[in-house]
Amino acid sequence: MKIVSYNVNGIRAAINKGFVDWLESEMPDIIQIQETKAMQNQVDVDFLRMLGYEIYWFAAEKKGYSGVATFTKIHPKQVIKGLGNEFFDAEGRFLRLDFEDFTLINSYFPSGTSGDIRQEKKEEYLELVLNYTNELRKSIPNIIVSGDYNICHKPIDINHPEKHEDTSGFLPQEREWMDRFVASGFVDSFRKFNDKAEQYSWWSYRGGCKPKNLGWRIDYHMVTEGLAGKLTAAWINPELSFSDHCPVYIELHL
């Protein structure tokens, strides 16, 4: 089973840049999209049905903002939209699909780069997610939490870490939350297979960061420990340029 997570920074823009052809050639079993920036009725999704995908969409109430969507060839037993928090659910950040053998969560974590208020909301969201997964694991042991976390966990995950110690996305309290999330029973799937530096999933559009590979690894598939042994591969595709992010992949044998 191949699962992809991809912050497309606008699904309509990505489609105009070749997303459809890429998906047709890639054909993952499940693809999770963050930052759709569109309502489902604003996008021609017939191509997804033609490729055999079921479509689950959770848009923000504000047009052109945030939003997540999951396209799957495997029919879920249950779909839950939102965390049950009015503020964050209005921003379309959390989509859960329950399958026979595991639960898949698609999340677009808030950014704190626009100021202190948004940073506080980001940290509130982090605690909500941790509490949610802690509770969920009491009844469902196999969970994958995929998406754009907007956090670099370790110095190896960011270019020139010494320059970013006071920057949202690499703040001590954010990295400490990642430590607690892992300690709660999650495994960073990519680092299970790749411990090299300069492996990034996001590059600022400013200053020619992509050609210089001045990036951040902020997109993850975090899997519970019981699923980690079923991982057969995890990788990043930095060559794809439909967005300022690139897709991240896992393969599992279930």
Sheet strands (E) in 184-246: 186-188, 202-203, 215-216, 219-224, 231-236
This prediction's pTM: 0.97
157 carries an active-site annotation: no
The proportion of the chain whose per-residue pLDDT surpasses 90, expressed as a percent, equals 97
Does residue 7 contact residue 108 with C-beta atoms inside 8 Å? yes
Question: Is there a contact between 11 and 54 (Cβ–Cβ < 8 Å)?
Answer: no
Comparing CA positions, the residue from 71, 74, 76, 93 lying closest to residue 84 is: 93
pLDDT tens for each residue of 167-201: 999 999 999 999 999 999 999 999 999 999 999 99
- Given the residues 46, 148, 179, 244, select the one marked as catalytic: 148
Residue-wise pLDDT for 79-129, tens only, equals: 999 999 999 999 999 999 999 999 999 999 999 988 899 999 999 999 999
Q: Token pair for residue 219?
A: 């997109």
Which distant-in-sequence residues (6+ apart) come within 8 Å of 116 by Cβ?
none
- Residue 213 pLDDT level (bands cut at 50, 70, 90): very high
pLDDT tens sequence across 5-27: 999 999 999 999 999 999 999 99
Domains of the chain: 2-252 (3.60.10.10)
